[in-house]
Amino acid sequence: MKVYATAIIGTILLILGVALSISVGTADINTATVFKSIFQWDQSKEQVIVRTLRLPRAVIGVLVGANLAVAGALMQAITKNSLASPQVFGVNAGASLIVVSSFVFFPSLSSASLVYFAFIGAALGGIVVYSFASEGGMTHVKLALAGMAVHFFLSSLTQGMIIFNEQAKDALYWLVGAIGGKGWAHVNLILPWSLAGLILAILFSRSISILVLGESIAQGLGQKVHRIRMIAGVLVIILAGSSVAVAGPVGFVGLIIPHIVRKLVGGDYRRIIPFSALFGALLLVYADILSRFIAYPFESPVGIVTAMIGAPFFLYLAKQGRKVKQ
């Protein structure tokens, strides 16, 4: 009963958040105009704003939030480490570095091609951090230190590339994590990867739940552990990489949400993964709304809000150390 109530409340809050995201901004638009923009097109200024700017922005917020939260849940499951997330594991920073490099060295590339560069960068970042953190046995502290070291190193390379290359200047705002100014082209870019990644993650959630019990138990139940880890790793790359390609390295969503979801619905990944998608979308949509008021009437990147929420949460988990359980 609690699970159903959580699902209903979360869904209602998400719908309200999307409606609020479409309505709130430098130009306030009432609810009636929002509905008319969707169902009764009359080409007024307000309807153009809703259809071409705010509606795709809200959709991207939902998709990116869901992607990053599920990616974080998968990473925490396969590494059995509560600090694992796309940002801590260097996935976001690696994807950002390769995407910005593509701006500099291949400026004529289409937006669709950037996703593949983001996948490569996400994989490289994750592999580097994992290799450092797992040497001699992975611990919470080693993962945090290795992840943050690689994250800051890759981020510094990315920022240096932006500073010394004029054609990459536009990426500076994107580098903080931003979904403002996105249109339907960006929705079309991320949507197929998001749907594929989220659906496959839900389909493999049972295997992930068994894997969390321990490798020996999973093997005894007929699970192919290495294949499950590989599939989960590929899903993390797809979900996090496509999100970075569109919205930049939005941080901490993949760290915060799986912990909250486990508190709400328990440790079964058949529930954790879909609920992580729901609450990840919820977090990013509301964070995006808050970002519009930090320097009103100018907009701030949504990554600032998620960092303000996530940094204290990360420090709390790091302090808890071994007391934090899956």
Give the span between the Cα atoms of 249 and 245, in whole angstroms: 8
Per-residue model confidence as pLDDT tens digits over 235-253: 999 999 999 989 988 989 9
Query: Above 80 in pLDDT, residue 133?
Result: no
**pLDDT confidence bin for 170, thresholds 50/70/90:** low
Token pair for 113? 């091609």
Mean pLDDT of the region 297-322: 80
Beta strands in the chain (DSSP E): none
Residue 298: pLDDT band (50, 70, 90) is confident
Q: Lowest mean pLDDT of 152-156, 288-292, 312-316, name the range.
A: 312-316
Per-residue pLDDT band for 158 (boundaries 50, 70, 90) equals confident
Q: Quick check: 322 pLDDT over 50? A: no
pLDDT in tens, 185-243: 999 999 999 999 999 999 999 999 998 888 778 777 778 888 888 899 999 999 999 99
Contacts of 293 (CB under 8 A, 6+ apart): none
Residue-level pLDDT at 166: 65
Predicted local distance difference test score (pLDDT) of residue 325: 45
Mean pLDDT of the chain: 85
Q: What is the pLDDT of residue 324?
A: 44
- Segment 64-102, tens digit of pLDDT: 999 999 999 999 998 888 888 888 888 998 999 998 888
The answer to whether the beta carbons of residues 218 and 210 sit under 8 Å apart is yes
pLDDT digits (tens, 9 = 90+) for 54-70: 899 999 999 999 999 99
SS (H, E, C) the chain: CHHHHHHHHHHHHHHHHHHHHHHCCCCCCCHHHHHHHHHCCCCCHHHHHHHHHHHHHHHHHHHHHHHHHHHHHHHHHHHCCCCCCCCCCCHHHHHHHHHHHHHHHCCCCCHHHHHHHHHHHHHHHHHHHHHHHHCCCCCHHHHHHHHHHHHHHHHHHHHHHHHCCHHHCCHHHHHHCCCCCCCHHHHHHHHHHHHHHHHHHHHCHHHHHHHHCCHHHHHHCCCCHHHHHHHHHHHHHHHHHHHHHHHCCCCCHHHHHHHHHHHHHCCCHHHHHHHHHHHHHHHHHHHHHHHCCCECCECCCHHHHHHHHHHHHHHHHHHHHHHCCC
Is residue 47 scored above 60 in pLDDT? yes
